[in-house]
Amino acid sequence: MKLLKETKIGQMALQNSMAMAPMTRSRADVNGVVNESTVLYYVQRNSAGLIISEAVNISKQAQGSPFTPGIYTQAQIDAWKKVTEAVHEKGGKIFAQLWHTGRVGHSIDKGGMLPVAPSAISIQGQQHFTSQGPKEYETPRALETVEITQIVKEYRQAAINSIEAGFDGVELHAAFGYLPNQFLVESSNQRQDEYGGSIENRSRFVLEVMQTMIDAIGEDKVAIKLSPSIPYNSIIDSNPTALYTYLIEELNKMPLAYVHLMNAVFPTDNLPQYPRDVIGTFGPLTKHVLIANGGYTRESGGLELEKGIANLISYGSLFLANPDLPKRFELNAELNQPDRATMYGGNEIGYTDYPALN
């Protein structure tokens, strides 16, 4: 079974070809510090070939949702050290997913400050989860060019902090409508400076962030997650194939750990320009290790690996509910079903209490 075969990312050996996908759990405290239950949560799932952490805020400004962790204070770094040390002690490997939410936030949880974005364009047709319940999205403040340079530096420092915290590497969250994704597409980026307009300009922010993190922490330690065919959070582009072809070809020039591609998990019937077969369309373009994500089962994940394009399959909610997912796949055992009511926030219920086999 290919899912259970050992593989490599750079020189890092992985015990199987299954990754635990990043999943927001909202269990940090108000200062973005994770606790002992977070240590247990990740250790329980260390049979994944690679664990990718929940998204981690790179700065105070980066935070979009309450009770999400950070990596920009010493207290946050020290708390993550307990997680990575425990995972490594049990033989696991773990990357930190670095997060700036951009306009996917609300001033209620940002000290009264408006979210920021490439352009002052709000998300339409959705509400944001805040500490005071669901709220309509606000119109974000457009970033000044000098502020963009500062955010690039914050990503660099977050990568350095992640290595200090013991992570094996970092993944840039450039998917699902967060700040890097907002720079990439036309619907959220209508800038007139060097970060807007052409595909080359709209890709500039992502490429600068990736290069500065590689310069800071070295080769084979920086990765990226992309969602070329997901319109969620009002992310629409007229030619995503051209956009992501250019971006992936530029990323091919960098010594990355891997590229993490997310399938089209929302209906795109009214967006015929969006490829449905994301892995088949964009996967062959990358020269890097490829992780495929989005809706895979034991059977479909195995079939995806058999195609020879993806090297690993990442699982989200299945790992959330099944801490011993590789063993369950090996035995073709019954799976626990995730409880969506306890996914975000709360205590150990729906977090560390999912039973393993035996």
The yes-or-no verdict on residue 51 having pLDDT over 90 is yes
Domain annotation covers residue 19: yes
* Three-class secondary structure of residue 167 per DSSP: coil
Residue 326 corresponds to which tokens in the numbers above?
């590789």
**C-alpha 284: how far from its chain's center?**
21
**26: CATH:** 3.20.20.70
Q: Which residues contact 337 (CB under 8 A, 6 or more apart)?
A: 321
* Three-class secondary structure of residue 105 per DSSP: coil
Share of the chain above pLDDT 90, in %: 97
pLDDT, mean over the chain:
97
Range of the domain at 185: 2-342
Residue 2 corresponds to which tokens in the numbers above?
């290919």
The yes-or-no verdict on residue 358 having pLDDT over 90 is no
Domain annotation covers residue 233: yes
Least reliable range by pLDDT among 41-45, 220-224, 269-273, 319-323: 269-273
Whether the Cβ atoms of residue 281 and residue 275 lie closer than 8 Å to each other? yes
Domain annotation covers residue 349: no
Residue 296 corresponds to which tokens in the numbers above?
């895979």
**What is the predicted pLDDT for the residue at 269?**
85
Domain annotation covers residue 352: no
**What is the predicted pLDDT for the residue at 71?**
98
Instruction: Using CA atoms of 326, 331, 337, 342 in order, give the dihedral in degrees to the nearest 10.
Output: -40
Diameter of the chain measured on Cα atoms = 60
Which tens digits make up the pLDDT trace of 116-172?
999 999 999 999 989 899 999 999 999 999 999 999 999 999 999 999 999 999 999
Residues taking part in catalysis: 178
Q: What is the mean pLDDT of residues 59-70?
A: 96
Which tens digits make up the pLDDT trace of 243-300?
999 999 999 999 999 999 999 988 888 999 999 999 999 999 999 999 999 999 999 9
Domain annotation covers residue 334: yes
The yes-or-no verdict on residue 19 having pLDDT over 90 is yes
Domain annotation covers residue 243: yes
Domain count, the chain: 1
The C-alpha angle with vertex 286 and arms to 215 and 314, in degrees rounded to 5, equals: 90
Whether the Cβ atoms of residue 221 and residue 250 lie closer than 8 Å to each other? no
